[in-house]
Amino acid sequence: MNERLRNKVALVTGAGAVGPGWGNGKATAVLFAREGAKIFGVDINLSAVEETRSIIQQEGGACTVMKVDVSNPDEVKPMVNQCLKTYGRIDILHNNVGIVVLGGPVETSEETWDRVMAINLKSMFLTCKYTLPHMERQGGGVIINIASVAAIRYTNIPYITYYASKAGILGLTQGIALQYAGKNIRANCVFYLA
């Protein structure tokens, strides 16, 4: 690796993997560390994110982890504060948390709708809300939100909450990108085929 992220701090949500092997958040955290970033990895599953930390530390990288429900504002603000206390800054915010629940508009309950929106979309709003002021004060930063091709087209799978939440991520990211472009803060979505 060429250490493109040397002296950078990356806050990665969903930094554990749901099952065995590699998930998006775990892979991102390890790759960022290989590029020289210090990682503040969070996940609702502490043992999963501790596994990510172990990989990073075995490779000589720096990683601190924390158990966080990023859909809960009472946990997100302390998460941001702890990252700042640990590393002094946040250069990269990588939002990777998301769930899928099958069901079309008729079959989906309001409770399911609210849960998916909270985890997939509200979580990104909250992490951005509490991270952006620090990025602005430090003179810049990068926000990476994980979206999906489901944000822009039907994938022949009936998961209305997933389509809606991923489309919301596009609007959230675009609004942040345009509002903060003049403040040296970039916001982008990464699409994957799911």
Instruction: Give the residue numbers marked as catalytic.
Output: 162
Q: Cα(146)–Cα(155) distance, rounded to whole angstroms?
A: 17
Helix (H, G, I), strand (E, B) or coil at 187: strand
**Dihedral sign computed on CA atoms, order 54, 56, 60, 63:** negative
Please report, as a single letter, which amino acid is at residue 79: M
- Measuring CA to CA, which residue among 19, 41, 18, 44 is closest to residue 28? 41
Which stretch of DSSP H or E encloses residue 85?
Answer: helix 73-87
Q: Cα(118)–Cα(102) distance, rounded to whole angstroms?
A: 16
Expressed in percent and rounded to 5, the helix, strand and coil fractions of the chain are 50, 20, 35
Pairing status of strand 63-67 against strand 9-13: unpaired
